[in-house]
Amino acid sequence: MSSSTAALAAAAAASAALLVLAAFAGGVEARERESAWLPAAKKMAAAPKKVAAAAAAKVPAVIVFGDSTVDTGNNNVVATMLKSNFPPYGRDLGAATGRFCNGRLPPDFMSEALGLPPLVPAYLDPAYGIADFARGVCFASAGTGLDNATAGVLAVIPLWKEVEYFKEYQRRLRRHAGRAAARRIVRDALYVVSIGTNDFLENYFLLVTGRFKQFTVGEFEDFLVAQAAGFLAAIHRLGARRVAFAGLSAIGCLPLERTLNALRGGCVEEYNQVARDYNVKLNAMIAGLQSSLPGLKIAYVPVYDDMLNLINNPSTLGLENVEQGCCATGMFEMSYLCNEKNPLTCPDADKYFFWDSFHPTEKPILKILAKELQILSSWCAMIGIPSFTQWSYFSSTDTM
């Protein structure tokens, strides 16, 4: 089979999966328990552990932009089929909050390590208000991308709208805390950005937006990097100064991509190569941008190698399956196809790298995050905040 034929076949299969997902969504929507988890989740967010008081003083809030890797529940109230606010999502967190995971996400761990609440609330979550958002807020939306066309595929929040919510948030913050305090929160907050996977897997390689006709892969990488630069410049104008920006992971090794690559087997190396090429360009852009925007300190977070190392050496973390997700068959299910009615969901997510066909479980998230934050310790010193590695639950992951 030629590469172009294989790509079309993969796109057709993925499109069919999306159609099945859309059809299934209607049947499950009525069974969503959108309010059952709210009291417990809010109680947890309001009662952080008594750690890192000094760090909390230096980092008053964690502010999040991006996609499903960091979306803490905004899609719950968006008219999209891409949701996860129902079991078994959140199974090990104790509640299905809209996080695409069995537990917590990177911003949650980072927030707790800084002495802030252990759950970063979603901006559109009606259970939270500006008093909560003053200590942390998430604008991310699962399924979105740097390219506005990506958000249109599954009708989610585009990145430009996330920025508009950030502007609205600042207006609310000024009314709540006063102009000077609001300015300090925005200036001293830690900004977490994770985005880009959907631009390739949901947009370009899925052949649904026309970008594959408009750009070569390399040109599309350049286009996305330019979009990322524009986004960073925009939030810098709005006051952001400390930004952690994640590169792409080994996107060709996601279970869904392995499934679509069944004829050849294994990870899709072409996709992994695209991720590596994009990461090089993104890192170079970040280095250049810091020299041109006063006060901007950006840490590039290189997640690719650590993810691949765990997939290639799963026993180092006690993992038994790195090819399928824990939920359902783990080959293609996510969102509504990953639901409590499926009897095939694994009993112990800690043995799996992936929770569904697209997203990791909490265990590798924490392991990879701990490794990356060790790398970023010098960046923490540069921006005047304590290193994350001094907090026990990050440093202890090395002994897992």
pLDDT tens-digit map of 322-335:
999 999 998 999 99
> Which comes out higher in pLDDT, residue 43 or 223?
223
Active site residue 359: yes
Q: What is the rounded distance in angstroms from the CA atom of residue 61 to the CA atom of residue 133?
A: 8
The SS3 of residue 283 is helix
What confidence tier does 140 reach under pLDDT thresholds 50, 70, 90? very high
DSSP assignment letter at 387 = -
- The residue annotated as part of the active site, out of 84, 356, 357, 387, is 356
- The residue annotated as part of the active site, out of 68, 84, 335, 357, is 68
Q: With 80 as the cut, is the pLDDT of residue 71 above it?
A: yes
Select 56-304+361-383's CATH number: 1.10.10, 3.30.310, 1.10.3470, 3.40.50.
3.40.50
Arithmetic mean of pLDDT, 229-237: 98
Q: With 90 as the cut, is the pLDDT of residue 166 above it?
A: yes
Q: With 90 as the cut, is the pLDDT of residue 382 above it?
A: no
Torsion on CA atoms 38, 39, 42, 44, rounded to nearest 10:
-120
Residue-level pLDDT at 53: 53
Active site residue 356: yes
The SS3 of residue 36 is coil
SS3 content of the chain, % helix, strand, coil (to 5): 55, 10, 40
Closest CA to 283 of 247, 311, 329, 319: 247
Arithmetic mean of pLDDT, 175-188: 97
Query: Left, alpha or beta for 66 (phi > 0: left; psi -120 to 50: alpha)?
Result: left
Residue-level pLDDT at 279: 98
CB-based contact 100:110 (threshold 8 Å) = no
Q: Which residues lie below 8 Å from residue 262, measured CB to CB, with a gap of 6+?
A: none
Percent of the chain with pLDDT over 90: 72
pTM, two decimal places: 0.85
The crossing angle, in degrees rounded to 10, of helices 159-177 and 217-237 is 10
CB-based contact 170:186 (threshold 8 Å) = yes
Task: Give the residues across from 192 on adjacent strands.
Answer: 64, 244
